[in-house]
Amino acid sequence: MLDYETLKVIWWLLVGVLLVGFAIMDGHDMGVGTLLPFVGRSDEERRVIINTVGPHWDGNQVWFITGGGAIFAAWPLVYASAFSGFYWAMLAVLWALFFRPVGFDYRSKIDNAVWRKTWDWGLFVGGAVPPLIFGVAFGNLLQGVPFHFDDHLVPYYTGSFWGLLNPFALLAGIVSTAMITFHGAIYLAYRTEGDIERRSRRAAIVFGILMLVAFSAAGVWVARGSFGYAITSVIDPSALPDPLAKTVTAQAGAWLDNYQRAPATLIVPVLAYVAGVAALVLVARGRHLAAFVASSLAIVGVIGTAGVSMFPFVMPSSTMPNASLTVWDAVSSQRTLGIMLVATLIFMPIIIAYTSWAYKVMSGKVTAAYIREHEHSAY
């Protein structure tokens, strides 16, 4: 079995992979849902849009479920603390997600304009709200979350729901929403033709530029802001979990320290810019599949930048910095991490292979003619 320190780092990477996988796979579904009421001008056009993601959205949702399960199993203290502090925010995500299965399955069952338009906006909520809230959550993580532990390591959150909606967190929410909508617009341009394709391409350019501008503004804010955390005591990466056995201080600009200690990590934020610009150029030229790959890499860069900047922190505490949760002290036992790693190495390739096969089988353009031919079976 791998040593404990190595397993801790591996699971930090794997949780990151699951979050990125969720953003790429379920993200383009949500981006399409966000654009649905605006890019589709008629009922038939909206049915075309829905059918680009209808066969796949529920399978892609597995990335979200798996990511949450992995955090619960690998980082139980993070799971407990985050779901205490972000309880109402997570409920808002779940309430928004409720619109998706019902909307996809029942939207076109009744030939009534009011019924269908209502579910179109329901799918918009299900696509737009989760990325916004996840971005706000990341913005709060970068600033530090107001929580602490008692002597029994029971977490107590001392903030409020409205406190989560601070200016920097809302900016991070804009980054996330623009990124996901940009990604979804490129996918929609790839899977459609005619007016829908042209509108999707324009939307991709707008949201791609917004993503890069907001991401840059967030970076400047982090560099010049008043938040950042650093471990100032000696830690043993192989020690048993104990989040209170270290000393942490709040240091403005500390989130840039990793780039100074390991300059190679600069490749992550650079990837966000290079891939983002490449995706914009490619979608403008009509090379939609290549643009989709580039926007996927941009997502890796954006989310990876937050992870690399905060490492080894996972959930810093603004009210009790020493209680901040890190890769080293918020994890499960060595045996748990080892067993989970074996399961991941077995099942993740199967999931990726099946997903790839499903997309290959159901590839190609979705057209109005297809909707007419499959009036009773299409979404």
Give 230-267 pLDDT, tens digit per residue: 999 988 888 888 888 899 999 998 999 999 999 999 99
| Cα–Cα dist 50/40, whole Å | 10
Pull the structure tokens for residue 363: 């590839």
Instruction: Tell which residue, 130, 132, 313, has the closest CA to residue 227.
Output: 313
Contact 184, 32 (CB under 8 A): yes
Contact 142, 199 (CB under 8 A): no
* Weakly modelled stretches of the chain, pLDDT under 50: none
- Residue 300 Cα to chain centre, angstroms: 10
Residue 58 CB-half CA count within 13 A: 10
Backbone φ and ψ for 89, nearest 5 degrees, come out as -65, -45
**Residue type, position 333, single letter:** S
- Looking at residue 377, its pLDDT comes to 66
Helical spans, DSSP H, in 42-193: 43-53, 57-74, 76-85, 87-106, 113-143, 167-191
Contact 303, 246 (CB under 8 A): no
- Looking at residue 306, its pLDDT comes to 96
List the chain domain ranges: 4-226+334-373
CB atoms within 10 A of CB 113: 9
Contact 300, 273 (CB under 8 A): no
- Looking at residue 294, its pLDDT comes to 98
| Cα–Cα dist 89/233, whole Å | 33
- Looking at residue 361, its pLDDT comes to 87
| Cα–Cα dist 45/294, whole Å | 26
- Looking at residue 370, its pLDDT comes to 84
